[in-house]
Amino acid sequence: MGFSTGGSGVQGGVSLHKWFGPGVRWHTGEDTDPWRWRIRVLTDRGDIAYGKVFLGNGGFITRRWYPLFVAVRRGGQCLDELYAGGLIGRDEAAIYRAIEDEGDIDAHALKRKLAISREGNGRFEGALTRLQTRLLVTVSGEGRFLDKFGQPYGWAINRYQTAERFFGPEIDCEAAELDPLAAARKIAGRIREIEPESPPRDMARFIGWQGLPEALI
């Protein structure tokens, strides 16, 4: 498919959900639990990225389709260009640079590095989601809290990398060579192959296209 939401789907997009067999069971922690697949694709393969990339929802994009989404979502621009143009804010820039500086970091350590207070947690989470939606940052795996004896405990914590580190700097180079409208139309065409009845407006929101929805037809 090339890209998919992680769960039951987002209107206007595509999802693997309707092809799930009866053996698929959410929230079991077993291999048949789709929640585990987001980490399995990161550890078992090198050509699929996972993150909150579809309207704040988790989803997958393969290496082949990633530059097209980058072309649509940010015109192939890097963080500094987006920040200089006022297209992302100070919070996003600070989080991105902290992740870039560490190379690979879990969300708890990232908050500690940036001295995020409990009151600032909502802003932090929102900015981190926007960075994923812009395909500047992606989930790279998961970690765990460690007790004083160095033993893991509690829920797993997402780890993050910049998309440039995850897939390589050529991602941005490839995206910069693409026309955003042509990229959006190609993604829309793929959606229509899988979900022929998807309305243009819903597809535009799913893809991240900011122009007229009718331009995708």
Interval 153-181 mean pLDDT: 92
Average per-residue pLDDT for the chain: 91
β partners of residue 159: 106, 141
**% helix, strand, coil for the chain, step of 5:** 45, 20, 35
Q: What does the pLDDT look like over 68-78, one tens digit per residue?
A: 999 999 998 98
pLDDT at 13: 87
Which region among 130-139, 149-158, 178-187 has the lowest average model confidence (pLDDT)? 149-158
Q: What does the pLDDT look like over 23-62, one tens digit per residue?
A: 888 888 788 888 888 888 888 988 999 999 999 999 999 9
Q: What confidence tier does 161 reach under pLDDT thresholds 50, 70, 90?
A: very high
Measured distance CA(122)–CA(143) in Å, rounded = 21
Q: What confidence tier does 9 reach under pLDDT thresholds 50, 70, 90?
A: low
Kindly report the backbone phi and psi dihedral angles of residue 166, in degrees, each rounded to the nearest multiple of 5, phi listed first: -65, -50
Contact in structure between 34 and 51 (CB atoms under 8 Å) = no
User: 17: which residues sit within 8 A by CB, 6+ positions away?
Assistant: 5, 7, 8, 9
Decide which of 64 and 23 is more confident.
64
Q: Is the dihedral of CA 103, 132, 59, 164 positive or negative?
A: negative
Measured distance CA(216)–CA(214) in Å, rounded = 5
- Count structural domains, the chain: 1
Domain membership of residue 113 as a residue range = 3-216
Residue 47 in tokens: 């050509």
Interval 174-197 mean pLDDT: 95
Burial of 48 from C-beta contacts in 10 A (0-12 / 13-18 / 19+): buried
pLDDT at 155: 75
Residue 20 pLDDT greater than 90, yes or no? no
